Amino acid sequence: MRLTSLFILLCLALPAHAEGFITRLLNKPVPGGVAVLDLGDGPAAPQARYQGKPVLVVKEDGKRWIAIIGIPLTVKPGTQQLEVDGQALSFQVGGKHYREQRITLKNKQQVNPNAKNLARIERELAEQTAAYRQFSPRQPSNLLLDKPVSGPLSSPFGLRRFFNGEERNPHSGLDFAVPSGTPIKAPAAGEVILIGDYFFNGKTVFVDHGQGLISMFCHLSKVEVQLGQELPRGGVLGRVGATGRATGPHLHWNVSLNDARVDPAIFIGAFSR
């Protein structure tokens, strides 16, 4: 009898189901992070939306549906709502402190652009925003992403950035300190959905991995893909450079989920609180 009671108590203490690999890897619910929510084991994929935008839904370990939600840096810690098949599902966002970075630029136009450059920046921002908002039905080939280059991480995601003493947008990606000409590889399979040579980002490539999971690579010295091209995982898309607003050769890599720029370190197992 006592053994039976002990067994029941142990069962009650255990979670209803063990967390899968994707949840353990990606669930970092902070501003600029990712929340993973259990959506049950129904026969069809639930439809999920966050802040009015569609969310990546996948089956974990072939058993349960999970929503993988990108949390914008602007979100305050507290309760957030995911809409699942028309019903609200709450989740909590914790806090995270991001450091400051101060950069001195010789080109003053890259800090306070004139009217002509501002018009160009606005056009380019509209192009890139449209790319981030694409949501294709394809499933990502992998969610543990490969590093696009082999090299040390330099500037982390989320830094509050000051250019010549003036605060600008936080750092929306992850930088790798690697030499010019280093080949850049796709961290997952995907379609090239945008190529540009932009005022701030320089030579840039966007890759759609599926369901709102999008990578952006910028400051390239050379682009080696074409618009609409399908890239395999590990396929070379270009070369590292220092084009646009860059103080030296490096790769800047953005990861976006449901049009929220999130910390790429989460997807390569390098996230730090």
pLDDT tens digits, one per residue of 124-160? 999 999 999 999 999 999 999 999 999 998 888 877 6
How far is it, in rounded angstroms, from Cα 53 to Cα 94? Answer: 21
Task: Name the pTM for this structure.
Answer: 0.87
Per-residue pLDDT, 15: 43
1 has pLDDT over 60: no
Q: Across the chain, what does the average pLDDT equal?
A: 87
Per-residue pLDDT, 11: 36
Q: Say which DSSP state 21 is in.
A: H
Amino acid (one-letter) located at 140:
P
Per-residue pLDDT, 19: 81
Per-residue pLDDT, 115: 82
pLDDT tens digits, one per residue of 181-212? 999 999 999 999 999 999 989 999 999 999 99
* Secondary structure class of 24 (helix, strand, coil): helix
| Long-range contact set of residues 161-168: C-beta below 8 Å, sequence gap at least 24 | 161/100, 161/101, 161/102, 161/103, 162/100, 162/101, 162/102, 162/103, 163/103, 163/104, 163/105, 163/110, 163/111, 164/103, 164/104, 164/105, 164/108, 164/111, 165/102, 166/111, 166/112, 168/111
| Range 162-190 burial, b when 16+ CB lie within 10 A, else e | ebeeeeeebbbbbbbebebebbbbbbbbb
Per-residue pLDDT, 208: 98
8 has pLDDT over 60: no
Region 36-60: what's the mean pLDDT? Answer: 96
169 has pLDDT over 80: no
Q: How confident is the model at residue 102 (pLDDT cuts 50, 70, 90)?
A: low
113 has pLDDT over 90: no
- Distance from chain centroid for Cα 212: 10
CATH superfamily for domain 2-93: Peptidoglycan hydrolase domains (2.60.40.1590)
The residue assigned the tokens 């850049």 is 184
66 has pLDDT over 60: yes
* Secondary structure class of 4 (helix, strand, coil): helix
Region 89-107: what's the mean pLDDT? Answer: 76
The residue assigned the tokens 């590889």 is 185
Per-residue pLDDT, 140: 97
62 has pLDDT over 70: yes
- Distance from chain centroid for Cα 185: 16
Residue 100 tokens read as 């400051």
Question: What CATH number does the domain located at 100-268 have?
Answer: 2.70.70.10
Q: In the chain, what are the domain boundaries?
A: 2-93, 100-268
1-15, 63-77, 150-164: segment of lowest average pLDDT:
1-15
Per-residue pLDDT, 200: 85
3 has pLDDT over 80: no
Beta-bridge mates of residue 198: 202
Region 81-99: what's the mean pLDDT? Answer: 92
Going from the C-alpha of 205 to that of each of 6, 133, 210, the distances in angstroms are 58, 15, 16
pLDDT tens digits, one per residue of 244-262? 988 889 999 999 999 999 9
Plot region of 51 (φ>0 → left; ψ -120 to 50 → alpha; else → beta): left
Per-residue pLDDT, 212: 98
